[in-house]
């Protein structure tokens, strides 16, 4: 008997008592109740709580805000995904760069797919304005643009908006570890600095 057939046969034997299970109770919150202003404030608050930096701006000021953030950070050479709609100084468009090349750049700028206010999370789904997973992983600085209409309040709303067939990366604050005496240290392998520009 193949391993597959045998494991399946074991499962069927194990379930010989035909366990009946009740309906899944979905009484938990599936959506939020905050208006947009409160939702964005909560999101910004939770990001800061996770040691991410936050800048807020109006759509018209976005480019200037991004340039200011890069300048303040001293990020002269940055990698950007091929579909990023903003023309930024020092941008190297990712056309399949090797990880070792990305490792030599100062940072990365992307958009996002969805953000969750209650948990301070941004989700990337590898769309053209976000790019391959590797470009937001290897550089030490990630600058991410989040539009107000992308921010939902709760986790279930975010799950509902996302496409499981795409590779997804959920990011809540910078890389962190608490493995040494439970002291939180920011930045182990992923970007040590996460900065979010919230556009509304």
What part of residues 93-152 is at the interface with other proteins (CB under 8 A)? 99-100, 103, 116, 118-121, 126, 132-134, 137
**Taken in order 163, 129, 195, 94, is the CA torsion positive or negative?**
positive
By beta-carbon proximity to other proteins, the closer residue of 66 and 120 is 120
Q: Quote the least distance from Cβ 111 to other proteins, whole Å.
A: 18
Q: Quote the least distance from Cβ 1 to other proteins, whole Å.
A: 5
Coil/strand/helix, residue 26: coil
Which two tokens mark 179?
Answer: 């493995």
Q: Which residues pair with 141 in a beta bridge?
A: 193
Q: Identify the residue among 3, 60, 74, 87 touching other proteins (CB under 8 A).
A: 3
Give, as ranges, the residues between 16 and 45 that touch other proteins (CB under 8 A): 16-17, 19-30
Q: Is 46 in the site for other proteins (CB under 8 A)?
A: yes
Which two tokens mark 100?
Answer: 């070792």
Q: Is 11 in the site for other proteins (CB under 8 A)?
A: yes
By beta-carbon proximity to other proteins, the closer residue of 15 and 60 is 15
Rounded to 5 degrees, what are φ and ψ at 90? 75, 15
Q: Is 4 in the site for other proteins (CB under 8 A)?
A: yes
Q: Quote the least distance from Cβ 70 to other proteins, whole Å.
A: 22
Range 89-104 burial, b when 16+ CB lie within 10 A, else e? ebbbebeebeeeebee
* Cα separation, 26 vs 181, whole angstroms: 38
């Amino acid at each position: 008997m193949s391993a597959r057939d045998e494991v399946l046969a074991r499962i069927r034997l194990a379930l010989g008592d035909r366990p009946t299970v009740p309906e899944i109770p979905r009484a938990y919150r599936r959506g939020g109740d905050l208006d947009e202003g409160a939702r964005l404030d909560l999101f910004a608050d939770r990001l800061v709580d996770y040691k991410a930096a936050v800048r807020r701006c109006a759509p018209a000021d976005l480019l200037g805000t991004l340039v200011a953030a890069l300048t303040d950070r001293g990020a002269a050479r940055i990698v950007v995904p091929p579909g990023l709609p903003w023309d930024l100084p020092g941008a190297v468009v990712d056309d399949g760069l090797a990880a070792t090349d990305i490792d030599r750049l100062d940072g990365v700028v992307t958009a996002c797919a969805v953000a969750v206010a209650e948990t301070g999370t941004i989700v990337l789904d590898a769309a053209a304005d976000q790019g391959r997973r590797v470009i937001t992983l290897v550089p030490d600085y990630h600058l991410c643009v989040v539009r107000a209409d992308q921010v939902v309040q709760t986790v279930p709303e975010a799950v509902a908006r996302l496409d499981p067939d795409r590779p997804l990366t959920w990011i809540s604050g910078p890389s962190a570890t608490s493995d040494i005496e439970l002291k939180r240290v920011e930045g182990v392998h992923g970007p040590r600095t996460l900065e979010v520009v919230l556009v509304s």
